[in-house]
Amino acid sequence: MENISLDNAVSFVTGAGSGIGGSIARELAGRGGVVVVADIEMDAADRIAQDIRRQGGKAEPMQVDVGDTHAMQVVADEVFAAYGRLDVLVNNAGVSMRPFRAVWDASFNDFEWMMRINYFGVVNGLLSFLPRMRAQGTRGHIVNTSSFVVLDEVPGHGMYSASKAAVDGISGVLRAELEDQGDPIGVTVLYPGKVTTRIATSERLRDTVGRSDARVVKPYARVRPVAPYEEAIEPDLVGPMVIEAIEKNRPHCLTHPAPLEILERRLRLYGAGDHDPCGA
pLDDT in tens, 50-67: 999 999 999 999 999 999
- Pinpoint the alpha helices (H) of 55-105: 69-83
Question: pLDDT of 56-107, one tens digit each?
Answer: 999 999 999 999 999 999 999 999 999 999 999 999 999 999 999 999 999 9
Residue 280 binned pLDDT confidence (cut-offs 50, 70, 90): very low
177: nearest Cα among 221, 126, 242: 126
Type of residue found at 65: D
Given this model, what pLDDT does residue 278 score?
57
Question: pLDDT of 24-44, one tens digit each?
Answer: 999 999 999 999 999 999 999
Residue 277 has pLDDT above 80, yes or no: no
96: nearest Cα among 113, 79, 73: 113
**d(Cα 254, Cα 256) in Å, to the nearest integer?**
6
- Report the catalytic residues: 160
Domain boundaries 10-270, CATH class: alpha beta
Given this model, what pLDDT does residue 275 score?
55
Predicted TM-score (pTM) of the model is 0.95
- Pairing between strand 140-145 and 88-91? parallel
- What does 48-103 look like in DSSP terms, one character per residue? HHHHHHHTT-EEEEEE--TT-HHHHHHHHHHHHHHHS--SEEEE------SS-B-G
107: nearest Cα among 217, 237, 27, 7: 217
**d(Cα 158, Cα 56) in Å, to the nearest integer?**
42
Question: pLDDT of 205-214, one tens digit each?
Answer: 998 888 999 9
Question: pLDDT of 120-163, one tens digit each?
Answer: 999 999 999 999 999 999 999 999 999 999 999 999 999 999 99
Given this model, what pLDDT does residue 274 score?
55
Type of residue found at 222: R
Question: pLDDT of 164-196, one tens digit each?
Answer: 999 999 999 999 999 999 999 999 999 999 999
Higher pLDDT, 23 or 210: 23
